[in-house]
Amino acid sequence: MRNRSLARQSARAAAALLVAAWLSFSLQAAVVRGTVVEHQTGKFLARATVAVQPIDGTPGAPVSMRTNVSGLFEFSSLAPGAYVVKVTRLGFMPVEYGQKRWNSAGMPLSLDDTAPAFLAFRMPRWSAISGAVVDENDIGLPEHDVVVYRNTRPPQQVARTKSDERGVYRISGLDPGTYLVRTAGAQYEEGAYLPTFGRESIAVENARLVEVDLDQQANNIDVRPVLGRLFGVSGSVVPDPPFTPTRVTVATDMGRQTVTTSEVFQFVGLTPGAFEIYAEAPVGNDVSVTLQGAYVASTLRADLGLNLTLSSRSNMAFDIRGGPPRMLTTDVRLEARRKDLAGEGEIVRVKFTRGMAQLAPGRWEVRLIAPAGYYVSAFSGRASYRANRARPDGWNETLVDGYGGIVRFTLTAGGGSLSGIVKNGAEVAAGAPVYLEAWDADTRQRQVDLRTTRTDMRGNFSFRDLAPGAYRVLSTFEYRDPDSAAFDAANPPSLRIEAHGDQQRDLDLYAIR
């Protein structure tokens, strides 16, 4: 009897504890809700993804949800703290809460348990350029390739499309900025057109500049291509086994064309000048070799025929020295991107098979993301002529040709670190972006890709495993990915990181006045 009474008392106590815990949790839960609409029209955006990411020091994991048919969302059980809130939907530019401009960083949203926060997001569309490709009588030229480049030197290709039967084209999905529009070379039965910049220029220096802004379309960007003589490169691929689907790419300083073939290929509409051509195919029956390829760099002066015999002997292999004992290939991340006349290609992760990783023939840039506690201290590879002045912890250029060879990275323990506090006046800046740029003061150039972090709830930041060298560090909400010119304008402090050194540097939050 006494036991039963004790049991009842224990059960009541447990229930009371549970209720108290639930009540305290409910009382402490913060709520954020809001709407997402199209910026131009105010129409509800259903199924937009809203993600909240707690900044360090705020409990909880990132969560996301979709807006309902009326563009509404609600996160009802977040811990009090600070969050970065981001909204994305296909066809729209991503938006972060508190952004000053489209390329600014989002401000953290501070939440407490006293009142729910209501956010209204208006999503702008990307920029677009439209116009027509016309002949000498302003008649539209159909199915003519139109290429948009960033106004850089060399111009960077960002998008490509074809004109319709009226000669009209439209290219969307552009960041705000300055662009160049150019038609590709085209060979028709009735004649050939040279690649021509808008409005009617062969030389990039005379090209028309096109400014685009968010939610805007630059219209009437017409191009009148110049008539002339074009050449072609054609031939056959010889993979092993025969008829294996092979990707063949021709690259010039104005872009790339790719076809997939198992036998013959043809590229037309090429202008005289330097070109590179590379072919790549999988190898099916050898687990230790995954790729076969071929690479040719030459100058086009007339129509050219080429036979590309694919070989896996010419692949480049990778060797990693140093690093932690018993390091596995999964502990590092090896990335590569094509480097050809058209610029830098898409970044791909290179997989290791039985401890070996391979790259198909051609020019490449490679980088190794070191395991925690290490940094890349040395790089060597065939024709790595940029390695002398580039930092080995960044992108390293190498040539993979018919002789194969080995690319070697060396990992060293004891990289430097940098930490500090970001203050906005007398207050600590929670969730502030901090950018670290490896910087060469002599050439005034960025050495490796920018490193980014955010301060925690107490304004602390830190970067670890830094390769020794010169850096600049900046904390600001003004940019999401500041370039070197933005760093110059903000005039951030320079510093030198030494191996095994732990540098402490507090920062003032930079804001454009």
Partner 1 sequence: MPKWLFLALAAGALRAAVIRGVVVEHQTGRPLARTLVTVQPVAGTAGVPVSVRTNVYGAFEFPPLAAGAYLVTASRRSFAPLQYGQKRWKAAGVPVVLEAAGSAVLSLRLQRFGSIAGAVVDENEVGLPEHEVIAYRNTRPPQLAARATTDDRGVYRLWGLEPGSYLVRTAAKKAQDDSYLPTFARETARVDEARPVEVELDRQTDDVSVRPFPGRLFTVTGQAFPSPQAPATVTLVSDVGSQSATSDGSGGFRFDSVAPGIYEIYAQAQADRRAGGGLQAAFAPLVVERDYTDVRLRMGGLADLQILVEDLRGQPVDLTLFQAMSRRKDLSGDGKPETLRLRQGHAALLPGRWELSLLTTAGYYVARFVGPPGAVAERGRADGWNEIAAASGPLTVKFVLSPNPGVVRGAVTGANRAPVAGAPVYLESYDPETRKRLTDLRQTRTDLQGKYEFYGLPPGNYRILSTFEYQSPEPAAMDAAGAQSVKVEEARDVEMALALYVMQ
Does residue 242 touch partner 1 according to CB under 8 A? yes
Choosing from 100, 150, 170, 337, the residue that interacts with partner 1 (CB under 8 A) is: 170
Minimal CA–CA distance to 319: which of 260, 263, 264, 381?
381
Tally of helices (H runs) and strands (E runs) in the chain: 2, 45
Q: Least separation, in Å, of the C-beta of 88 and partner 1?
A: 10
Choosing from 56, 74, 113, 164, the residue that interacts with partner 1 (CB under 8 A) is: 164
Contacts of 478 (CB under 8 A, 6+ apart): 100, 104, 105, 486, 490, 510, 511, 512
Choosing from 60, 272, 284, 355, the residue that interacts with partner 1 (CB under 8 A) is: 284
245-274 positions binding partner 1, by CB under 8 A: 245, 262
Choosing from 18, 24, 76, 138, the residue that interacts with partner 1 (CB under 8 A) is: 138
Cβ neighbours of 120 (radius 10 Å): 9
Does residue 66 touch partner 1 according to CB under 8 A? yes
**If 0-12 CB within 10 Å is exposed, 13-18 middle and 19+ buried, where does residue 429 land?**
buried
Is residue 322 within 8 Å of residue 363, measured between CB atoms?
A: no
Choosing from 172, 187, 201, 261, the residue that interacts with partner 1 (CB under 8 A) is: 172
Minimal CA–CA distance to 111: which of 63, 71, 155?
63
Choosing from 33, 122, 125, 160, the residue that interacts with partner 1 (CB under 8 A) is: 125
Q: Least separation, in Å, of the C-beta of 78 and partner 1?
A: 22
88-117 positions binding partner 1, by CB under 8 A: 90-91
Q: How many residues bind partner 1 (CB under 8 A)?
A: 41
> CA separation (Å) from 12 to 1, 19, 136, 337?
17, 11, 91, 65
**If 0-12 CB within 10 Å is exposed, 13-18 middle and 19+ buried, where does residue 111 land?**
buried
Considering only the stretches 98-106, 236-244, 351-359, 462-470, report the one whose residues sit in contact with partner 1 under the rule CB under 8 A: 236-244
**Dist CA 294 CA 280 (whole Å):** 7
Does residue 50 touch partner 1 according to CB under 8 A? no
Choosing from 8, 12, 47, 321, the residue that interacts with partner 1 (CB under 8 A) is: 47
Considering only the stretches 74-82, 158-166, 344-352, 434-442, report the one whose residues sit in contact with partner 1 under the rule CB under 8 A: 158-166
Is residue 156 within 8 Å of residue 148, measured between CB atoms?
A: no
Q: Catalog residues that contact partner 1 under the rule CB under 8 A.
A: 38, 43-47, 49, 66, 69, 71, 90-91, 125-126, 128, 135-140, 142-143, 164-166, 170, 172-173, 188-191, 241-245, 262, 282, 284
